[in-house]
């Protein structure tokens, strides 16, 4: 998969993820939580709740207080039946939020967009990471913008708008292989790249479960992995619950994925994930925690 390594990485080994504006983030030994901030009126789980600036800023502050290391800000819903918005509307929704949050230097900000110009404006406004749900493959300028701005990159696999192969792991290899080819072509440094298998994006429930159970195979790419099953429809198919009641199922799937080596977790419910993933990490490596003293 990753041409330069040809072997699985140790997903728990410490690495430095280089981001825009000279920032870095240590990833590997402890799980990292990315809080979702949808500045949209129609997201599948919390549409409209944070589409006004004050509400968005308040929610971002609450997620940071709960332990989110990254705030991921999106201005266009990615649910399957969402109405598309144009670039101007997307930018009007998110740039003021990013500009306001950038005044808090302790925060690391991610912009959830597939548009190169939106990404450029967001980095200029203070964002550190571009989270592209089309893996650099929808906007031909995205890889160049990521390289020129020096941003961190989350490149996601998607099955939308393309013919998929029947084996989900072979399809991951095909799609993300092209993503990495584009990144290399435009000079995106490898220590700026994180991959995302794209749970729920044009995948059947069986395919999502196959990726969940065989997740460790994806370390063959040689890059850290971000995952986001948060409140996804396939969890509703399993539990019979609607989106806002899927947090327990989300955490269960994310603990499994942490055990399999996922590094970053994109979630709605930050507080439960910070605690649940900390327990998972403490079992794996107790030395990371202060466990001294009596019971």
What is the structure's pLDDT at 52?
81
User: How far is CA 279 from its chain centroid?
Assistant: 21
Residue 29 near residue 14 (C-beta atoms within 8 A):
yes
What is the structure's pLDDT at 50?
53
**Which residues are CB-contacts of 108 (< 8 A; sequence separation ≥ 6)?**
19, 23, 25, 69, 70, 71, 128, 129
Structure tokens at 136: 């650099």
Cβ count near 167 (within 10 Å)? 12
List pLDDT tens digits, range 240-277: 999 999 999 999 999 999 999 999 999 999 999 999 99
- For residues 185 and 168, give the distance between their C-alpha atoms in angstroms, rounded to a whole number: 26
Write out the catalytic residue numbers. Answer: 232, 266
What is the structure's pLDDT at 45?
53
Residue 196 near residue 20 (C-beta atoms within 8 A):
no
- For residues 161 and 102, give the distance between their C-alpha atoms in angstroms, rounded to a whole number: 34
- For residues 60 and 47, give the distance between their C-alpha atoms in angstroms, rounded to a whole number: 15
What is the structure's pLDDT at 292?
87
In order of their start, the domains of the chain are 15-288 (3.20.20.20)
- For residues 17 and 224, give the distance between their C-alpha atoms in angstroms, rounded to a whole number: 9
Q: Mark the ranges of the chain whose per-residue pLDDT is less than 50.
A: 1-6, 42-44, 46-48
- For residues 157 and 103, give the distance between their C-alpha atoms in angstroms, rounded to a whole number: 32
Strand partners for 71: 35, 109
- Report the predicted TM-score, pTM, of the whole model to 2 decimal places: 0.93
- For residues 212 and 201, give the distance between their C-alpha atoms in angstroms, rounded to a whole number: 14
């Amino acid at each position: 998969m990753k041409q330069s390594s040809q072997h699985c990485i140790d997903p728990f080994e410490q690495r430095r993820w280089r981001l825009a504006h000279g920032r870095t983030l240590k990833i590997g030994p402890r799980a990292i939580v990315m809080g979702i901030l949808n500045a949209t009126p129609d997201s599948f789980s919390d549409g409209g709740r944070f589409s006004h600036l004050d509400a968005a800023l308040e929610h971002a502050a609450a997620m940071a207080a709960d332990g989110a290391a990254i705030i991921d800000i999106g201005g266009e819903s990615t649910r399957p039946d969402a109405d598309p918005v144009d670039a101007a509307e997307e930018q009007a929704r998110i740039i003021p939020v990013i500009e306001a949050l950038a005044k808090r230097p302790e925060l690391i900000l991610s912009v959830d967009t597939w548009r190169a110009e939106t990404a450029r404006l967001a980095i200029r406004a203070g964002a550190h990471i571009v989270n592209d749900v089309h893996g650099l493959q929808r906007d031909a300028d995205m890889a160049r913008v990521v390289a020129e701005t020096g941003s961190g990159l989350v490149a996601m696999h998607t099955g939308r708008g393309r013919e998929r192969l029947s084996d989900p792991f072979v399809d991951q290899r095909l799609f993300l292989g092209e993503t990495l080819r584009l990144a290399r072509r435009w000079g995106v440094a490898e220590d700026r790249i994180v991959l995302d298998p794209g749970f729920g994006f044009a995948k059947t429930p069986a395919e999502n479960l196959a990726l969940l159970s065989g997740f460790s195979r994806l370390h063959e790419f040689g890059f850290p992995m971000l995952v986001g099953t948060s409140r996804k429809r396939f969890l509703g198919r399993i539990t019979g619950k609607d989106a806002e009641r899927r947090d327990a199922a989300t955490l269960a799937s994310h603990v499994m994925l942490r055990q399999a080596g996922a590094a970053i977790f994109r979630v709605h419910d930050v507080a439960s994930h910070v605690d649940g993933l900390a327990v998972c990490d403490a079992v794996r490596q107790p030395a990371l925690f202060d466990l001294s003293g009596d019971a």
